[in-house]
Structure 1
Amino acid sequence: MKQSSSFSILEREQTISCLREEVFDVIVIGGGITGSGIALDAISRGLKVAMVDRKDFASGTSSRSGKLIHGGLKYLQNYDFSVVKETGSEREIVYNNALHLVYPIKMNFPLIKKESYNLFTLKVGLTLYDRLAGVKKDERHKIYGKKKTLQNEPLFNENTVKGSGVYVEYRTDDSRLTMEVAKTASAKGAVIINYAEMTEFLKSEEGKLSGILVKDHINGTTFSIYGKHIVNAAGPWVDIVRKKDRPISGKYMILAKGIHIVFDREALPVQSSIYFQHKGRMIAVIPVGNRTYVGSTESLYEEDMDDIQVNLSEVNYLLGCLKDMFPSIQLSVDDILSSWAGIRPLIGENGKSPAELSRHDEIFESDSGLITIAGGKLTGYRKMAERVMQYIQKKNNQAQTPSKTDQLKLTGSHFYSERDLLNYVDTLSRQYQNLGLTDEEINRYVFRYGSNTEILLATISSFQHITDKEQRNIVGELTYTVNHEMVSSLSDFYDRRTSYLLFDLEKVKRTLDVVTTELATILNWTEEKTLEEKRFMQYLINKALSFKEGVTKRD
């Protein structure tokens, strides 16, 4: 099977030829973290694997999460001990396999008057959490009284905060984690493509699935992919995919919407990450670089799944939570630098609100053979993939074997310790002194691209003729992502590959013209296509700062 050696839009025709010619063992529909994880697990078992996504990788839920690889402390309240145990152990694996993307942070959990946790229950909860999650000795929780709590975080409301617990969580870049998983699967032989929509299922005379019909949204052509097993891993869209096979019966998806808002770090200068209760709901305040983001709300969602808006009522709700928690900080809508909204699929169960529904994943199969994986969460993507592959093994009357990905370093993560990572930053700083990059700039690149940063910096070096440093860097970064990360649109680059849309809108505005011109040249866009892309990017910029009027339907 011939296939592209690079993960690039420029090799698209070769990729499509591979998809047309091969009969695959597993076809995965959906290029989020779940689908990418299944593709990686399957290819690591020596199977022939194809994966398609109708949009870009991680363009749904997998780029709009709270960006935490967490052990599931909140699930203790619902007595979901198995979720806490599994995700707690999984986060250590994800951390070791993607050191440049997953990093430990201290999480401050304040005890607040009239909320459900008190000193005793918090101590019991965190102790149970440490044990279930297999937390390392030096990372186990600490409990503090009111005085020490206010010293640790002077912004807390001294009238309501009674104490705190501090424990370790892990922060990540969800869209880049998805990208690295997909790239690793591709490097091992999986044939993967974005902007390729499954439009209908192909079936045998007996009504069993034999493949899918796919529309290429880049060039408008349609082609078929044939395979022995088809896995629907479309996240919130799984029911839409299922309806193309059979009318839905039994389990169904309930969509829960969450939003996050972003502030300048100076406007919300918390000392560490904070996870607090507000009238029973959990709110996270996470500093990252020179920004602090806050979320999430959780509400039922029944509107357009492809254009999810942040409601003003949701923003005001979060602002109210912040005012109660940090009374000395005066924040308003005008202080928001960006925002994002996403939906997560929960498995429908009558009589339960989104906040009560478990994050357990489930697998179910139609009589035509479509295997659907639904529910779950970012941290558990590897175990979800393992369960799908074991389901297929059982279906094939094979012995069920564990995943081989627990020791598999993702592309860009050829490091064995944090020291390795920091030494790499130092090496690159010396090697690329001619670029005039600060250590902080190189550090940011390394914590985005990992051990591939050297290729990125070499690419930036090839644009030395661009005298404006920011423009030179952004054109180099764009070129790298086109050649190695299948970027084919402005939003691929600014949103999911770099997160500039979420955390540095001003940079997006400053560089949009030069990036548009460069990408249009690389991809031979027509003038009409170029204007369409630029208009859409302007829409996304405005959307990040505009909040829809209306009432949010809370659970």
Structure 2
Amino acid sequence: MKFSNANREETMRHILETTYDVIIIGGGLTGASILFDLQTRGVKTLLLEKSDFASAASESFDVLIYDKDTFQSLPKSKRNELQQLNSNLGSAFQFIPAVEVMSHHSPVSEQVKRRFLPFFKKDSVEQPVTKVMIHDQFKKPLQSFGRLTQTHIPFVDTARLTIDLIKASVALGADVMNYQMVTDLYISADAVKGVFVEDQIIGETHVIYGKKVVNATGLESGSWHNRYKDQSASKLTLSPRRKYQWLMDDTLWPIKVPLIIKGGVFSQTVTIIPKEEGVLISTIRQGDDMLRTHMVFNEVKSHLSHLLEQQVLNPDRVVTLKTVREVVTHAAKQPLAFYNTRPDVLTAIGSPMSNYRRYAALIGDEIVKQFKKEAAILYEASTTKERVIVSEIIEDSNEELPRFSQRECQLMTKYQLLPDRFEEYSQRVERLMIDYPIPKLLFIELLYTLENEGIYKAGDFLMRRLRLGVFLYTLHSEVVFQILRFLEYRLAWTREERSYYEREVKQFLEERNKLD
């Protein structure tokens, strides 16, 4: 089935006529990685998402991966594993050089210290910090604060990674559908037979048939588990936290390499990443209490100014900010925990980013074990967690790339488009631009995501493409109008849909001061 909403009626008819081995609820990274793992095993799988795929990740900055439990960067073996598994994802997964500043008085528990004592005794994980390009003016106060270590840390576009996983799964035969909210489980004779869904576009309700269900709904997974658990399953309480993120258009920040500052006066790890768009700042606060973002920012600013002995970060230069609620996935006693809600329903709360493929493999193992046990077949361990995500690779065509501009190459890398396919889209867009005057590269992205990534609402397209870290420019209202016209034509929107989605887009851009 093609990963597109261009004909939702036909897609929905196909889904309603199919009985699935597994239905996954939730279109985030956890659901997408489980979908990919199950599909590589030959399990007939469907993924349902109530809004847009990776909607939470699309409203967030890219993610730095590090071990939040031990306050340490990932071991070299783990980095190599992640690099190998995600080697086909282009700019969605890359390693960047960074400097870790570990406070001499880090709030690490005695249990963690005993477990990682040999690691803590090391003077340097990889290279001495003298090779890091930090001016002595700032290096000395940082060294007085804690130990400096040069390392390479994975820098991940979570939204892009999620969508690439879904696309790879669809290429293997999986079915996916967004804007379908699962309202209830269909249970007959004390066994799950499927799920009830409500179409968020047209309001219709349906029953989709399946043998097992995986609940991967993020913060909602706890309430789902408690609602459907059998008597043998214990109640699940998830620990939320809030991630505070800012993008600064600030020339005051003096250090031009990424910093990860841990411990000491910083109650939680703070990451500061200089990029072309500005300075990305991120920190996390445990618990669900909503603190004012400016209050948290001023706290971070105060600590950094005290540490570097000069004023840094201007609160008046904040370009944009975001607060995201997320699950503390390592809060359980088992770091890769999942729960058998009932014999045919499994709840997956997710894992730290560094283990997302291994976690999906554990879920896949559990489901396959259940199927084989029911069929009295001996289970054998699989190696799906070692499979590289298959997508179009442009590395073999590097000799052809010089004829493309830098922005065109960046677009090809982002969507993993081969040169021939990129030229095909380019030619189609040139013909369409006669009726829809949209900038060419923006139009190529619009057409590609419409046909290959399940876009339906104009606001979702802009949110995916213009996430906080890449908000570089203002969109002219005429361009937005043409995007709406094109989607209305290609997706056969009703007049009511067009009016609603237009208001949604205007609100989205006005909130970010990106509409002239």
TM range (shorter): 0.7 to 0.9
Secondary structure of the corresponding residue to residue 383 of structure 1: helix
Distance 1:126 1:455 in 2: 52
Which residue matches 2:62?
Answer: 67
Counterpart among 231, 248, 254 of residue 239 in structure 2: 254
Which deviates more, 156-165 or 183-192? 156-165
Give the letter aligned to residue 166 of structure 1: Q
What is the Cα deviation at residue 249 of structure 1? 4.2
Residues 464 and 472, structure 1, Cα contact 8 Å, conserved in 2: yes
Counterpart among 388, 408, 411 of residue 388 in structure 2: 408
Counterpart among 293, 296, 303 of residue 314 in structure 1: 296
Give the letter aligned to residue 94 of structure 1: L
Using structure 1 for the length normalisation, give the TM-score: 0.78
Counterpart among 249, 258, 261 of residue 276 in structure 1: 261
Residue deviations 1:228-273 (CA, integer Å, cap 9, x gap): 1111111122124335524994322121110211123755464222
Distance 1:408 1:12, change over 3 A: farther
Distance 1:217 1:11 in 2: 15
Which residue matches 2:400?
Answer: 427
Counterpart among 85, 92, 107 of residue 83 in structure 2: 92
Distance 1:367 1:99, change over 3 A: same
Distance 1:156 1:110, change over 3 A: farther
Counterpart among 493, 508, 511 of residue 525 in structure 1: 493
Q: Does 1:293 align with 2:280?
A: yes
Distance 2:424 2:225 in 1: 45
Match runs of 1:53-452 below 5 Å: 53-60=49-56, 62-63=57-58, 67-68=62-63, 70-72=65-67, 74-77=68-71, 87-88=78-79, 90-111=81-102, 128=119, 141-144=126-129, 151-153=133-135, 156=138, 158-162=140-144, 164-205=148-189, 207-246=190-229, 249-264=234-249, 266=251, 268=253, 270-277=255-262, 278-301=265-288, 311-326=293-308, 328=310, 330-346=312-328, 360-367=335-342, 369-396=344-371, 397=373, 398-412=378-392, 414=393, 420=395, 424=398, 427-430=400-403, 432=404, 438-439=405-406, 441-452=407-418
- Equivalenced residues, count: 495
In the alignment, structure 1 segments of 5+ residues that lack a partner are 132-138, 304-308, 350-356, 433-437, 547-555
Secondary structure of the corresponding residue to residue 361 of structure 1: coil
Distance 1:461 1:348, change over 3 A: closer
Residues 31 and 51, structure 1, Cα contact 8 Å, conserved in 2: yes
Distance 1:464 1:96, change over 3 A: closer
Distance 2:149 2:330 in 1: 34
- Please report the RMSD computed on the Cα atoms of aligned residues, expressed in angstroms: 3.7
Distance 2:420 2:249 in 1: 30
Question: Identity of paired residues, percent?
Answer: 19
Residues 260 and 293, structure 1, Cα contact 8 Å, conserved in 2: yes
Residues 61 and 468, structure 2, Cα contact 8 Å, conserved in 1: no
Secondary structure of the corresponding residue to residue 462 of structure 1: helix
Using structure 2 for the length normalisation, give the TM-score: 0.84
Give the letter aligned to residue 14 of structure 2: C
Counterpart among 415, 439, 450 of residue 471 in structure 1: 439
Secondary structure of the corresponding residue to residue 456 of structure 2: coil
Residues 360 and 385, structure 2, Cα contact 8 Å, conserved in 1: no
What is the Cα deviation at residue 537 of structure 1? 2.8
Residues 197 and 216, structure 1, Cα contact 8 Å, conserved in 2: yes
Distance 1:339 1:310, change over 3 A: farther
Distance 1:314 1:474 in 2: 36
What is the Cα deviation at residue 70 of structure 1? 2.7
What is the Cα deviation at residue 456 of structure 1? 4.3
Secondary structure of the corresponding residue to residue 428 of structure 1: helix
Residues 294 and 318, structure 1, Cα contact 8 Å, conserved in 2: no
Secondary structure of the corresponding residue to residue 464 of structure 1: helix
